[in-house]
Amino acid sequence: MARIQLENPILVSDLDVVYVGTFVPKACGIATFANDLGTSIKQEMGGKPYRVVAISDRAGGYDYPSEVTFEIRQNVIRDYARAAEYLNGSSAQIVSLQHEFGIFGGDAGKYLSVLLCHLKKPVITTVHTILENPPTDYREAFEDVINCSQRLVTMSQKGAKMLHEIYAVPPDKISVIHHGVHDVPFVDSNFYKEKFNVEGLTVLLTFGLLSPNKGIETALEALPYVVEKHPDTVYIILGATHPEVKKVHGEQYRLSLERKVIDLNLTDNVVFHNRFVDLQELTEYMSCCDFYLTPYLAK
């Protein structure tokens, strides 16, 4: 589907961006990312306010901040068409779509296509997961997103390569923007190691909502070889089970990880913290770790 081109160059300070995706206070990595992205761009634009079209997955929604000006109920298809009408009638010059499988309604998130096919604004889509061998319905839904986006943003060169080779996206339609981090003061890691009872140890860390595509089992299977040479290693797995995974499978994935830890004789080397932490506590965990692991199976 052809997208509208902006006729005249726009100064960054004048840019009117509306973000589409989940949003805080939902305990979701995409919601946190969208909040951080919007806040950072707002600062670059001199404090100009931004708006969000939020995807809500529960009755009554969330206690959203003022940035959320429209709400889509995840599994109500007409809300996606209404969101397109809202965006088309707004002053938005660009729609920044945060795409992740599972946050949009319909099989494989296909309700999102209803919004996109009615939308008359330019779309820049940040793709948070790229499936290498997607089922047919997932591929079709993702290709709708690709075709309706003027530009795709991925966070790695590997992701850009997959978009081009698997989904035939032209290279000039892809931008690589690495995942940012918060700028925090440097603090000696030993301070936080003592706080989290891992003083004197080499700390590995993975954080985020748990789901099978995190690949944590892969890291656990490799850990005995590390521990054999470095017995003072501890692996902290920080994060609650992803709400969408928990709805369908309960704590099955987490329990499988805990069983694997026992089977691999790693109970002294692996620590689970089953909760969603705020930014302050997350920063402290990051400050205490020596190595951060991202063993994700998807890109």
Judged against a pLDDT cut of 60, whether residue 299 lies above it is answered with: no
Q: Please name the helix (run of DSSP H) or strand (run of DSSP E) that holds residue 55, with its range, or none.
A: strand 51-56
- pTM (whole model) above 0.95: no
What three-state secondary structure class fits 219? Answer: helix
C-alpha dihedral (127, 129, 133, 137), degrees to nearest 10: -70
Has domain 12-176 been given CATH number 3.40.50.2000? yes
Per-residue pLDDT, 85:
98
Q: DSSP letters along 142-188, please?
A: HHHHHHT-SEEEESSHHHHHHHHHHH---GGGEEE-PPP--------
- Write down the CATH superfamily of domain 189-292: Glycogen Phosphorylase B; (3.40.50.2000)
Contact 268, 238 (CB under 8 A): no
The structural domains of the chain, with segments of one domain joined by +, span 12-176, 189-292
What average pLDDT does this structure show over 233-239? 95
12-176 and 189-292 in the same fold:
yes
Whole-number pLDDT of residue 250: 87
> What is d(CA 34, CA 28) in angstroms, rounded to the nearest whole number?
10
Once rounded to an integer, what is the mean pLDDT over residues 117-136? 95
